[in-house]
C-alpha cells in the first residue's frame, strides 16, 4: 500500500541520515528495511517473503514471532521489567538453574551479561583473577566480539582496524584441513599437528603465565569450521597439564545450532570446559542477553573477595523471561535432535552432491543447521549468487567467498528443501559468472 511505502521510505531515509551501522563504510551501504517476520520468513514493505538463511546473526534459533517467547515477554512486561542486579529475581534464578542443569558437565553458577562480547570480557577477567596469570590464547580464524579484549581475542581481519587495547593476548592456529597451516592431508594429521603447535605456543609463551585458552568449539563467523575428532580433548589435556582454563565460546553455536545443546558436547561425555560463554540462542535473540556458565571453583574465587565487575542489566527481567521459555522449548527434546538428524540426512548429502557438480565450490563443511559452502570465486560472482538467492525468496547470508547456511532451528522440512534449492541455484549463478 501507499502507506507501507511511505513507512519504508521514512525508515530508510532516517537510517541513512541518522543511524550509524556496525562494520560499515557508512557511505557504501544501503540497508534493507524489514516490516515483519514470522517463523523462518522475513517480510519487506512490499509484502515480499524471504527465508531467513542466517537467522539474523545466527540468533533467531526458534524463529521469529514465536508465540511462547512473545507471551513470556508480555507477561513479564506486565509484572516487573527493571531491577537493580543486586536484587534477586525469580525468572533470572530459574534461568540460571535451568542452564546449569542442562549444560553437560559440572557447573554451578551463571553470570548474565547483555550479549556475547561482554560475556567474553568477563570470562577472561575472571580467568585472570582466578589463576593469577595474565596471558590469554585464542585461535586465528575466530570471532569473539567487538569490545576491548574480545576484539583483541578475535583472530581475523576485523581486529586489525583497531588499536591494541589488551597486549597480553596471543594467537595460535587451530585445525582447518581445507586451508591447513600444517601441510596436513588428513584430519588425523591436522589434529595431531595443530595440538603439537599449540603445545609449542604454550611452552614458548610460558605455561605458567597463561590464564586461559578461548576457543569456539565449532568456529562460526570465521568460516564454520568443525574441529577434527580429538582436538578439543587434546586442548583440554594441555590445559589440565598446565593449570590453564578452557573457555568455550558458545555464543554462536550454543543452544542447538550444531545438533547438541552446546557444541562442546561433540567432544564426548567426559569433556567439559571451565567456562561457557553464551548469548544469541539462549533466548533466540528476543532481547539482548548473554552470560557465562562457570564451575564452582571459579565461583569460589569470588566467595569472600568481591568480583570487581558488573552490569546494570545483568539478568534483565525482559531478557531472561524469553530465555526461560526458550530453555523449556529446548528441553522438550524435539528441536535439537531434529537439527542433528536433518543436518546429517538432508543438508549434508545435498551440499556434498552439489560440490561434486559445481566446479566453483572449493569446500563444503558444517554440522547440524550450520554449514558453509566455500567458493573459488570473486566478489562479482558472489554478488550474482546473492541476487539469485533473493530472486528465489531467500535472504542470503554470505561472508566473503562463502555462503553460510544457518536457518532457524524451527525451519520446516519444506522450507529447508526450498532453501537448499536456492543454494543450488545461487551456486550455479556463482559458477556461471566466475567460470562462464
Q: Pick the closest to residue 373 from 100, 210, 178 (CA basis).
A: 178
As measured in angstroms, the least distance from the Cβ of 90 to ligand PLP is 25
Q: Which three cell numbers stand for residue 3?
A: 502507506
Output 66 or 277, the one with its CB closest to ligand PLP: 277
Tell me which of 98, 133, 144, 316 binds ligand PLP, using CB under 6 A.
Answer: 144
Quote the CA–CA distance of 38 and 132 in Å, as a whole number. Answer: 48
Quote the CA–CA distance of 343 and 430 in Å, as a whole number. Answer: 24
Q: Which three cell numbers stand for residue 192?
A: 595431531
In the three-class reduction of DSSP (H, G, I as helix; E, B as strand; rest coil), residue 212 is classed as: strand
Map residues 23-62 to x or -, x wherever contact with ligand PLP holds by CB under 6 A. ----------------------------------x-----
As measured in angstroms, the least distance from the Cβ of 367 to ligand PLP is 15
Q: Note whether 366 binds ligand PLP by CB under 6 A.
A: no
| Size of the residue set binding ligand PLP (CB under 6 A) | 16
As measured in angstroms, the least distance from the Cβ of 158 to ligand PLP is 11
Which residues in the 190-249 window bind ligand PLP by CB under 6 A? 216, 220-221, 249
Output 142 or 410, the one with its CB closest to ligand PLP: 142
Quote the CA–CA distance of 58 and 370 in Å, as a whole number. Answer: 9
Map residues 267-306 to x or -, x wherever contact with ligand PLP holds by CB under 6 A. ------------x----------x----------------
Q: Decide: 209 and 132 in contact? Cβ < 8 Å.
A: no
The pair phi, psi for residue 388, each rounded to 5°, is: -65, -40
Pairing of strands 41-44, 49-52: antiparallel
The pair phi, psi for residue 270, each rounded to 5°, is: -85, -10
Output 326 or 360, the one with its CB closest to ligand PLP: 326
Output 69 or 377, the one with its CB closest to ligand PLP: 69
Q: Note whether 145 binds ligand PLP by CB under 6 A.
A: yes
Quote the CA–CA distance of 48 and 36 in Å, as a whole number. Answer: 10
Output 54 or 192, the one with its CB closest to ligand PLP: 54
Output 117 or 419, the one with its CB closest to ligand PLP: 117
Quote the CA–CA distance of 9 and 208 in Å, as a whole number. Answer: 58
Q: Which three cell numbers stand for residue 383?
A: 554478488
Tell me which of 69, 117, 235, 323 binds ligand PLP, using CB under 6 A.
Answer: 117
Any idea what DSSP says for residue 18?
H
The pair phi, psi for residue 370, each rounded to 5°, is: -150, 95
Quote the CA–CA distance of 371 and 365 in Å, as a whole number. Answer: 6
Q: Note whether 254 binds ligand PLP by CB under 6 A.
A: no
Output 216 or 374, the one with its CB closest to ligand PLP: 216
The length of the chain in residues reads: 436
Residues in Cβ contact with 49 at an 8 Å cutoff, skipping those fewer than 6 apart:
41, 42, 43, 393
Q: Note whether 120 binds ligand PLP by CB under 6 A.
A: yes
Map residues 124-143 to x or -, x wherever contact with ligand PLP holds by CB under 6 A. -------------------x
The DSSP element (H or E) to which 126 belongs, if any, is helix 116-131
Quote the CA–CA distance of 79 and 182 in Å, as a whole number. Answer: 57
Output 56 or 358, the one with its CB closest to ligand PLP: 56
Output 120 or 326, the one with its CB closest to ligand PLP: 120
Q: Note whether 252 binds ligand PLP by CB under 6 A.
A: yes
Q: Note whether 320 binds ligand PLP by CB under 6 A.
A: no
Q: Note whether 403 binds ligand PLP by CB under 6 A.
A: no
Residues near ligand PLP (CB under 6 A) are 57, 115-117, 120, 143-145, 216, 220-221, 249, 251-252, 279, 290
Amino acid at each position: 500500500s501507499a502507506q507501507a511505502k511511505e513507512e519504508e521510505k521514512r525508515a530508510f531515509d532516517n537510517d541513512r541520515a541518522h543511524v550509524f551501522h556496525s562494520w560499515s563504510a557508512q557511505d557504501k551501504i544501503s540497508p534493507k528495511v524489514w516490516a515483519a517476520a514470522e517463523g523462518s520468513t522475513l517480510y519487506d514493505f512490499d509484502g515480499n517473503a524471504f527465508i531467513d538463511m542466517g537467522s539474523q546473526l545466527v540468533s533467531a534459533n526458534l524463529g521469529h514471532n514465536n508465540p511462547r517467547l512473545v507471551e513470556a515477554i508480555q507477561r513479564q512486561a506486565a509484572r516487573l521489567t527493571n531491577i537493580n542486579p543486586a536484587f534477586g529475581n525469580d525468572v533470572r534464578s530459574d534461568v540460571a538453574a535451568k542452564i546449569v542443569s542442562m549444560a553437560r558437565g559440572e557447573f554451578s553458577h551463571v553470570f548474565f551479561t547483555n550479549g556475547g562480547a561482554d560475556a567474553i570480557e568477563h570470562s577472561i577477567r575472571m580467568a585472570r583473577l582466578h589463576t593469577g596469570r595474565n596471558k590469554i590464547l585464542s585461535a586465528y580464524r575466530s570471532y569473539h566480539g567487538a569490545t576491548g579484549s574480545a576484539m583483541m581475542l578475535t583472530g581475523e581481519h576485523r581486529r586489525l582496524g583497531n588499536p591494541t587495547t589488551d597486549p597480553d593476548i596471543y594467537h595460535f592456529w587451530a585445525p582447518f584441513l581445507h586451508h591447513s597451516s600444517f601441510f596436513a592431508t588428513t584430519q588425523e594429521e591436522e589434529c595431531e599437528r595443530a595440538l603439537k603447535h599449540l603445545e609449542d605456543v604454550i611452552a614458548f609463551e610460558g605455561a605458567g603465565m597463561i590464564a586461559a585458552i578461548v576457543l569456539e568449539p565449532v568456529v562460526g563467523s570465521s568460516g564454520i569450521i568443525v574441529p577434527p575428532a580429538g582436538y578439543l580433548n587434546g586442548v583440554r589435556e594441555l590445559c589440565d597439564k598446565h593449570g590453564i582454563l578452557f573457555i568455550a565460546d558458545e555464543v554462536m553455536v550454543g543452544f542447538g545450532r550444531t545438533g547438541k545443546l552446546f557444541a562442546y558436547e561433540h567432544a564426548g561425555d567426559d569433556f567439559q570446559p571451565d567456562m561457557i560463554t553464551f548469548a544469541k540462542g539462549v533466548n533466540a535473540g528476543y532481547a539482548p542477553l548473554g552470560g557465562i556458565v562457570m564451575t564452582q571453583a571459579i565461583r569460589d574465587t569470588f566467595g569472600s573477595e568481591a568480583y570487581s565487575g558488573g552490569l546494570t542489566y545483568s539478568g534483565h527481567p525482559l531478557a531472561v523471561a524469553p530465555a526461560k521459555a526458550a530453555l523449556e522449548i529446548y528441553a522438550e527434546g524435539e528441536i535439537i535432535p531434529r537439527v542433528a538428524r536433518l543436518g546429517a540426512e538432508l543438508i549434508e548429502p545435498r551440499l556434498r552432491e552439489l560440490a561434486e557438480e559445481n566446479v566453483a565450490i572449493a569446500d563444503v563443511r558444517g554440522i547440524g543447521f550450520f554449514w558453509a559452502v566455500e567458493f573459488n570465486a570473486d566478489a562479482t560472482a558472489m554478488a550474482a549468487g546473492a541476487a539469485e538467492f533473493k530472486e528465489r525468496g531467500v535472504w542470503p547470508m554470505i561472508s566473503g567467498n562463502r555462503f553460510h547456511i544457518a536457518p532457524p532451528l524451527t525451519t520446516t522440512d519444506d522450507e529447508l528443501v526450498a532453501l537448499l534449492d536456492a543454494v543450488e541455484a545461487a551456486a550455479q549463478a556463482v559458477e556461471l559468472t566466475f567460470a562462464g
